[in-house]
Chain A
C-alpha cells in the first residue's frame, strides 16, 4: 500500500506501476498467514492496455485522491458515472437498471429480474423450467436473501436465517490438496458430509442439514470524550445436525448477502488498477498490506483476480451467480452442473432425490440462457446518486475519512475499462470506496476459515457505495460479514489488524467529528 498523508499524497491508482507486481504476487507464498505455500507464479497485467497515453494521464489525474475538501469534487455525486441512478430515494433505490442502458436492452434486465425473484419449486413439477430446488437449500430465490437487492441480516429473535448462512470448509489434508489451493485450483475443501455450506432447508421429505445458532456477548468500548459503545461479540455453533457430526477440522463462517449494486462496474475495473494498490509484503511499511485474491475463472480455468464475495473468491459476476445458484438454492447451471447442488455423496438420500433437469431444455436446471439473464441483471443494478455530497458537514466527514486513513483501503475511485463488452460499463469514473484487496482485519473479525489465498484473518475490503441507503432499502443497519455491527459506528470499531490504526484514529476523534464522518458514509 502506498502511503500518503491526508493532505499530501493519497493511495495511488492508475497504471504507473512496474513489473514489480508480478514478483509481489509470486511472493504471496511467503505470507505467514497463509497456511499453504503458493507454488505458481501468476501473471496478471500490471499496465492498462485499453487506453491511449493521453487517456492514461486523464485517468491518473481524475482518480488521484483529492486534497481539497472545501467543495465536492466534480462528478462526485454521480458515484457510478453515467450508470448512476437519479431516481427518488425509496426502498427500491437498489433495484433500478443502470441509467445508461438503452431501453431495448432493458428487456433482458427485466427477464433477469424475473428469474432473480422466481421462487424455485421442488422437482418434479409442471413448470419444467422452474423446478429443481435443492434438494438442500438456504433460499428459494435470489431475492429471498437479496431483499430489495440490498444487504442481508442475521436472524433476529429466532426467525428464519435467510439472507445469512454458514460457509463450511475443512483444512487441506494432503500435499496434493495443499497444492490445489496454492495453484488456485480450488479455494478450499468442503466438509466431507455437509459440503460447502450448511443448508437449513430441504425439499419435502428430506431432512435439512442443521441450524445455525448464534449467541452474543456485549463488550463495551469507550471512545474519546467518554461515549461508551457496546459491541456484540457473536459466537456461532450448529444444532440439529441431521447427518452426523461435522469433520473435526471443519470451520464455520457466517456470511450475510451483500448488496447487488454496481457489480458490473466493479468487474470492469482493470486488474492493473487494483493491483496498483497491492502491497502484500507491506514493503512501504505502513502496516497495511493489501493482497490480491488469485482465483480461476469458472469457465476458462484461467487465472483471474478475485473481486466478489467476502473473501474475493470469485472473479466475475457470473461466477458469483453460479456459486449462489448451486450452494444457496440448489439449482445447477452450466458452470456448476451438479443438479443436487451441495449434497455430498455421504448424503445418500439427498443424492437420490429427483432433479429439475429437462434434457430438452438443457443439461442443467438453470440452462445457459437463465444464467446469462441473471448475470446481466446482477451486473447492471444501478448505484444511486450521492445525497448531500456538497453539504459542509458531509465534506468535513469526508476529510476526516481521509485523514483517519480509511481511504487507504476504501480507495475512493477508479475508471473502468474502455473495452468492456457491455458498453454502459465502459470508461466510467466510479467511486466504490474499495481496493478489492484482502486485508488482515485482526482477531475480532477473524473467522478462521481459509478461502483461496485469504487466510482466516483476511477479508476483502467491501465497497461502501450505497451504504448510506441501507436502512431505506433493507430496513435495518446491520453491517460486516455477519451483521454483528448494528450501525456504522460499531462497524468501524470492529476494524482491527491492518485497519487498527484507522479505527483508533476514529475512536480518538471528538464526538462531533465522529458524527461528521458517519454523515459522510451516509451520503454514499
Chain B
C-alpha cells in the first residue's frame, strides 16, 4: 500500500531537497525561462497532458456523451462496468469517483485510497487506441479538416501541460543512496552507481552493485565533510583492476538537470509506423532535459548572478528506451539568446520519441550489437514437440525479416508547437498553442512556509500551497496503463535522471575538477 505520510516522514528526517540552494520559486522562474519550444508532428493526436488530466479528463468527457457512447467507453472488470478511469490492484478496483481530486485531497478519504494503491496497481482509462482517442485524442485540424497535413496540424484536444522537475545531481545521488528510500514515483530513482566505476582490461574481479553504492556513500560523506583522507580511503577500497570514473564524478558535482516531462495519454505509433516492430500503449512518459552548470545556479541562489545571466549548458532528449542508446544530446551555444533560440525539441508522431531535429529518424537500437548469437537456434525451437520442421520456419522468417524496411520516427517543423510565451506584441501564428508548466516542488521539505516540497502535503501540518491529490498522482507507484491483450509496454512513471546522466557522461561537454 501507498503510505505517503510515512514517506513524508522519511523525507523530513532525511532533509529531502533536490534543488540544492535554490528555492522553489526560483526553480519555477528557471523552468519558465528555459522552457524548450516543443514541435509536434502535424499528425499528432495525443499532446502532453499531466497527471491531473489523466484523472479529470475522462469523467469530464464522459459527462458530454450520450448514454450509448458512454457505455462503449465503460471498462469491464469481471461482471462490473466502470466509468473511466480506474485503478486496479489485483481484484480490487478503485472507481473514478474515488479518484476525484476532492477525494484524494481529503486526508481521511485520500489515505483510504492510498491504502488501495501499490506498485502492483494499474491505472487505465480503457486500454486501447479507440477509447483513448475518444477521451484524449485530437479530432480536427487548425483548418477544421479531419485529415492533417503539413501546415494544418491536428489541434490539441486538451490544454497542453508539461511537468518540470529540477534535480541537483549530487543531492539526487545522496537521496538515492540512503537506506530508507521510500518506494514511490516521486522519490524516484537515480541508480547510476555503475557509471562511476570501470574495469581495466576486462577484469574478472567481482564488484557488486551494493559495494559500489557503499563506496559512493562514503565518498559523498567524506566530500561533504571536506575530509580528503576519507575520500582517498573510500576510493582505495575499489577492487584491483577497477578504476573510478572521474568524468562521472565531475558531472555529478558540477551539473544540475531541469527535466521536462511530456506525459501522453496514449502512444499510437502503430498508426504511423510502416513496420511490424511497432509499439502501442496507454500512458507514455517522454521528454527532455536542460542541463545547467551548478556553479551558475549557486551564484543565482546567492544573488551574485541574475536570472538573465544564466545560460543553459546542454539539452538531452529521450528516444525510445534507454537501452537503445539513441538519446540525443546537444551542447548549447554560449551566447544566451542563441542558446535560447537553439532550445527546440521535436516530438515524433505517435511514439513521442523526442529528437533535436525535424527529420526522418531510423529507430535505432544499439543493444543487440553488443552480443553475438552465433549459429544458435531460437530457444523456443527446441521446445516444439514432435518432428516439426522448425527449420523451414526459421529459413522463411530469416529470408523475410532481413528485407524489412526499418522503423522510422518522423518529426516535423509543420505541426502544432508550444513553448515559452511569445513576447508582447508578437504573433506566434496559428500553429502555436499555449501550454502550462507544472513544476514539481522538490525544494527543502524542512522549511515549510519558506520553501515548497511536494511531500509536505502528507504531513500533519500540511501547508496550503501543496496538494495531497497532486502528491498522490505524482507519487503513484503503479503502471500508467493497461493493455488490450496484444501489446503492453505501459510502464511505471520513472524520472529519467539516470538515463540523462549516463548520456551526459558519455557525450557531454563536462567541466573537469581536480582528478581524484
Q: Do A and B come from one complex?
A: no
Residues of A within 8 A of B (CB): none
